[in-house]
Structure 1
Amino acid sequence: MKLRKKLSMFLAVTALLVGVVGCGNNSAKTADSDAGNGGDKTNASNAGAAENSAKESYKIAISQYVEHPSLDATREGFMAALKDAGLIEKENLTVDYSNAQADPTNNMSIAQKIAGEKYDLVLAIATPPAQAIVGQVKNSPILFAAVTDPLDAKLVDNLDKPGGNVSGASDTNPEAITKLMDFIAGNFKDVKNVGVVINQGEPNAVIMTNHAEKALEKHGIKLVKASVTNTSEVKQAAESLVGRVDAIYITLDNTVVEAVNTVIKVANDNDIPFFSSDRDTVEHGAFATVGFKYYDHGYQVGQMAVEALKNGKKVGDMKVTVPDKLDFILNLKAASEQGIEVTDAMKDQVQDKENNLIE
């Protein structure tokens, strides 16, 4: 009897163990089956997303020539384009920003430092840093912005198909200079001489000044140059033009734009119409330009960066662009300060009066 009870108990325990093992095997099979049918796809997807997230973290370098409104707006527009595309600083984007403070030696040092590291992309803002970066950096894609003449600066040898690791956007459309000089000649009949404050060590300033000179010659107007070598000389150069010229013009000359408030003061104190090559200077107190927003210019280059970083496009396959949304921009308050009577004919030149007639 006792033996039968023990045998019954043994058989019961054995059956229980078999059942447990069977359930365990079924669970394993179910898990395997789920994995095969997509049950583990969530985990696989999460792993893939994590891997992609790790890949989608970028490191870029920015070299800027000097701090002034146009170049700062260029950088801000560039960063905004990246942010709008989901590339956000301190989240999935590391930005190494350097400013040369208008010192050629600093330009070269910054370029050499960037060349010694690996970046997913390098942005050069203005011609001098662009030349230094292109000369030194060979292992990263390069974009430039706020460059007057990429061909003359030897940054690229073809605007439509740059090739190599370089492309970007020029901030000058020669048509804008011609239109502005025509505006001066057509609306200021007493202007016989136009003065320009210029750092002739900046290739971009020289190119633009030469273009302005040729455009003015067609109207019988002479261009008078007042040269500077650094920002501290701008005020004296502007003052030297008083009594010798009937209007003042400045190009996208970084040395001069950095000290533009001194030029504005000279123009206002002496009732001399003051014309510039960029919107930011007009907003600060020049009377007129034919231009665009540098923020938009930087945003355009930022979109090129997104194509390179996120979509894998080679910068050398991207066409070098120029501003195409040109308009007259007039500062009516500056006109009053400089003794200018703004006529309806002048205002009629402005297409977007809401944004480009500045009160």
Structure 2
Amino acid sequence: MKKAKKIAAVALAAASMSLAFAGCGGSAESSKADNSSTDGKVYNIGICQLVQHEALDAATKGFKDYLTEKLGADNVKFDEQNAQGDSATCATICNQFVSSNYDLILGNGTAALQAAYTATPNIPILGTSITDYGTALDKSDWNGVSGMNVSGTTDLAPLDQQAAMLKELFPNAKNVGILYCSAEANSKYQSDTITPYFKDAGYTVKSYSFADSNDVAAVAKTACDESDVLYIPTDNTAASNTGIIDNVATAAKTPIVAGEEGICKGCGVATLSISYDELGRKTGEMAYNILVKGEDITKMKVEAAPNVTKEYIKDRCDTYGIKVPDGYTEIKAE
């Protein structure tokens, strides 16, 4: 009887402490880790990021933030490595993760995802900042579920809406050039997919592809000289070279519409973009469901970012005399 009373007293004291902490501010409750479901386990997660730039950095941060908030900093450890844009380095990194027998691998960028699923058929692999999983996984019958140890999130904003936005901003343009890196399969996918939308809008369309960072400037100059406006899809190599592209486009007085916010800040006038932080957090939620709730990754559908936003760079739009309609959010150039 005394033991029961003691237990009840402890429980009452714990409840009182919880109420006291709750009264200190709303943020305490929202950031509280769900330690009860970890059973003391420490989850080890390998993160292979293809290259360092704003979009991919934000996705990685969102992923880590979500899991740290849910599990607690003591219950999740991240081995975060950057491949500096090299596919072979992605393979080396992911093979190290497999040798370490990590609980889950995040592939941030298409080449990173491809390296991860080549390295292991067993460890759960989530991708983020991936445009098209059918292309990335070489699955012609892609239906949104891989059927293997791979799932994740896509960063593709609707291409028909991107084409409509370009038409909204440049109704009198004649020639649209699409600039992308030929080494990135997802960039070619975007170019091929958006081209019919541009043609339906009445534009003449031509694609300009560069092999790597070494020929960005030369290809961008040709594209600018032959186009009234350029479109750059979500492309990691382009995102890492926006300074070069911006110099060329500014000299040629050719405006650029970008497929995502980071490229737009670097060299564009407008974008229809997702939040890569939100994308990373969505991927973190998927990781939590796999690791803690035991969801079967082979049956998990690839998820998209919850929101897209029309954004513009005011100074650049003013320079080109672009009249921006209502419904756009101003962002700052880098």
Look up the match of 1:287: 269
Please give the alpha-carbon distance, in whole angstroms, between the structure 2 residues aligned to 1:188 and 1:181. 10
71, 74, 82: which one pairs with 2:59?
74
Please give the alpha-carbon distance, in whole angstroms, between the structure 2 residues aligned to 1:340 and 1:77. 36
Look up the match of 2:150: 166
Contact 1:155–1:166 (8 Å) recurs in 2: no
Give the residue type in structure 1 aligned to 2:325.
Answer: K
Give the residue type in structure 1 aligned to 2:314.
Answer: L
Contact 1:196–1:225 (8 Å) recurs in 2: yes
Look up the match of 1:20: none
Write out per-residue CA displacement over residues 40-85 of structure 1, whole angstroms, 9 at most, x where no aligned residue. 998xxxxxxx998773311100011111111111101111111221
Look up the match of 2:123: 140
* Residue 92 of structure 1 pairs with residue 75 of structure 2: yes
Give the gaps of 5 or more residues in structure 1.
1-32, 43-49
Q: What does 1:194-233 correspond to in 2, within 5 Å?
A: 194-233=176-215
Please give the alpha-carbon distance, in whole angstroms, between the structure 2 residues aligned to 1:71 and 1:220. 34
Look up the match of 1:245: 227
Look up the match of 1:310: 292
Give the residue type in structure 1 aligned to 2:55.
Answer: S
Please give the alpha-carbon distance, in whole angstroms, between the structure 1 residues aligned to 2:166 and 2:36. 59
317, 322, 326: which one pairs with 1:341?
322
Deviation at 1:293, TM superposition (A): 1.1
RMSD, aligned α-carbons: 2.6
Deviation at 1:279, TM superposition (A): 1.4
78, 90, 94: which one pairs with 1:107?
90
Identity %: 24
Give secondary structure in 2 for the equivalent of 1:252: coil
Q: TM-score, normalising length from structure 1?
A: 0.78
Deviation at 1:271, TM superposition (A): 2.1
Distance 1:118-1:40 versus aligned 2 partners, 3 A rule? farther
Give secondary structure in 2 for the equivalent of 1:243: helix
Give secondary structure in 1 for the equivalent of 2:44: strand
Please give the alpha-carbon distance, in whole angstroms, between the structure 2 residues aligned to 1:109 and 1:51. 35
271, 277, 282: which one pairs with 1:300?
282
Give secondary structure in 2 for the equivalent of 1:347: coil
Look up the match of 2:99: 116
Contact 1:145–1:301 (8 Å) recurs in 2: yes
Please give the alpha-carbon distance, in whole angstroms, between the structure 2 residues aligned to 1:53 and 1:292. 31
Larger C-alpha radius of gyration, 1 or 2?
1
Give secondary structure in 2 for the equivalent of 1:167: strand
Deviation at 1:204, TM superposition (A): 0.4
Look up the match of 1:83: 68
Deviation at 1:278, TM superposition (A): 0.3
Deviation at 1:227, TM superposition (A): 2.2
Look up the match of 1:128: 111
Please give the alpha-carbon distance, in whole angstroms, between the structure 2 residues aligned to 1:103 and 1:270. 31
Look up the match of 2:133: 150
Write out per-residue CA displacement over residues 124-165 of structure 1, whole angstroms, 9 at most, x where no aligned residue. 011111111112122321111011111222277655544332
Give the residue type in structure 1 aligned to 2:256.
Answer: F
Look up the match of 1:358: 331
Please give the alpha-carbon distance, in whole angstroms, between the structure 1 residues aligned to 2:38 and 2:290. 17
Please give the alpha-carbon distance, in whole angstroms, between the structure 2 residues aligned to 1:206 and 1:142. 24
